[in-house]
Chain A
Amino acid sequence: MTKLDYYLTQDHAARQRTMLISVSVGALAGMLAELLGAAFNVAVVVCVLTVGGLEIIRAVSYAPPVRKIIQSSADFQETRRYLLGLVYSAVGCLAVAFWASPRVEAMVERKLREATAGDPPYDKANKLIKSALQNDIRINSATVEIVRRKVAGTHSRVTGDVQASVNLTLAQLDAYQIYVLTGIKLNVVPRAVFLSAYTYSVNDTIRVNWGPNIGEDRSRATINAVDFNRAQSPAIFSYEGGGSRDAFVSHLTATSTMSGGAFVPPAFIQRDSSPSKLAVFDVTVLNLSQALDDIIWVNVTFDRCRINYQGGRLQLKWVTFKDCQFNSENESARAILDRIRQQGTNSMTWGIP
């Protein structure tokens, strides 16, 4: 039996020591790399190589204690002891993974319902949603929707700072839903705009300095672009001057009407070239133009729209295209649009896991 044989098959304690050393040092290396500003992938490579180096060095330079080789009859007793440890570890893992975590999540859901049961402001709920978002606590989407409807229902009854607080709660709930569906965290600001269930007619672009625009209900909050002059008003929403803020538009329907003649419909939304993230969530876009590039589309239906795509970042989650026209000047982008066209009216996901 070679030293490596003995190390790999008999000396469980030595392998355990190696595991603890390599995991501790590897984790430290990865953490340091991340804290020093390395990209996540680079930090992972640093961590994996550190762990591999230590594992190999410890295995190759292993020297078994002479006493242990002589006492090989005692080894099976030791193995049995370790096997019992395996059972306890497995039970521990299963208990935490399948029993304890769901209980914590249920507790968060209960607290969220309690925190929004009374009248606004909902400061406790705001803190709870922020915490759930940062700690990746999964709240049932049905619960989030119930809470959202409850909070949205109180909007018209309050004014001033309390109303701003209600808007923040609604913005955080939507940011949370977008995160759950896409894995993308949005840095939303407190200056959210809430659109009650109503049909808003607009005849010029709404310029937004990167804040959320939240409709009360997708089927009842409608923005109608009337007689847009495309040269002056290219889109219903225009997001400009982002900085470190992200934004989204949610729970509404956008459409356009023209009083006469053939016209090119305005775009639903356009954005600047800042690094800020922009998402559209739970929206119906009807009779409008739209460039898909560099916007996160979640649960969106395009109906009779002119879809444009020029090869930018494409992120679609549950997006449906009905009777749309597709256009691109870029050949590779055109291939992607062909794939989208082939989906017909089926909802599709692209670029989001």
Chain B
Amino acid sequence: MTDDHSGFWTEAWAQLRPDMLSGVVEFGQYLRLWAVVLGAHLVRLIMATAGIEPEITKPVALMERWVFIASFASFFWRVLLRLYHSTKRPLR
């Protein structure tokens, strides 16, 4: 009984491991991108605080906003792609 269970979990882990690891790695890549965007946001705040004209900080704000939107879109398209792929993939 115990052996059967341990076999199940070992098999489950063997099947899930590549997806989980790659999912975590991918999330890290998005986190890095978001950290860069937050860094740009911080620079913009400091520029604004230092009294730099808002006209100069505007393009940074525009890029910031669209990179955020595009990165979230990319993230959720990836999740959809993985879900679709997992429904089509036969169990090993």
Contact = CB atoms under 8 A, between A and B. Distances in A.
Contacts of A348: none
A11 to B, nearest CB: 9
Given A26-B74, A47-B70, A56-B77, A86 B41 contact: no
A270 to B, nearest CB: 33
B7 interface: no
A231 B85 CA distance: 71
The secondary-structure label for the interface of chain B is helix
B27 interface: yes
Given A56-B81, A132-B48, A85 B28 contact: yes
A8 B54 CA distance: 42
B61 to A, nearest CB: 7
B51 A131 contact: yes
A79 B81 contact: no
B31 A19 contact: no
A23 B70 contact: yes
State which size class the interface on A falls in.
35 or more
A19 B19 CA distance: 17
B24 A15 contact: no
A326 to B, nearest CB: 40
A135 interface: yes
A47 B63 CA distance: 13
Contacts of B62: 31, 34
Nearest to A96: B38
Contacts of B28: 82-83, 85-87, 89-90
A105 B44 CA distance: 12
Given A92-B35, A104-B45, A137-B49, A27 B22 contact: no
Question: Could you say which interface size class chain B belongs to?
Answer: 35 or more
A101 interface: yes
A5 interface: yes
B26 interface: yes
B70 to A, nearest CB: 4
A225 interface: no
B14 interface: no
Interface string A42-56: 001001101110011
A137 B48 contact: yes
Nearest to B88: A4
Contacts of A93: 31, 34-35, 38
A56 B74 CA distance: 10
A110 to B, nearest CB: 10
Nearest to A131: B48
Interface of A: 2, 4-5, 8-10, 12, 15-16, 19, 22-24, 26-28, 30-31, 34, 44, 47-48, 50-52, 55-56, 59, 79, 82-83, 85-90, 92-93, 96-97, 100-101, 104-105, 107-108, 111, 124, 127-128, 130-132, 134-135, 137
Given A86-B27, A90-B28, A101-B42, 13 more contacts: A12-B26, A24-B70, A30-B70, A83-B21, A83-B25, A85-B29, A85-B32, A89-B32, A104-B46, A105-B45, A131-B48, A131-B54, A135-B61
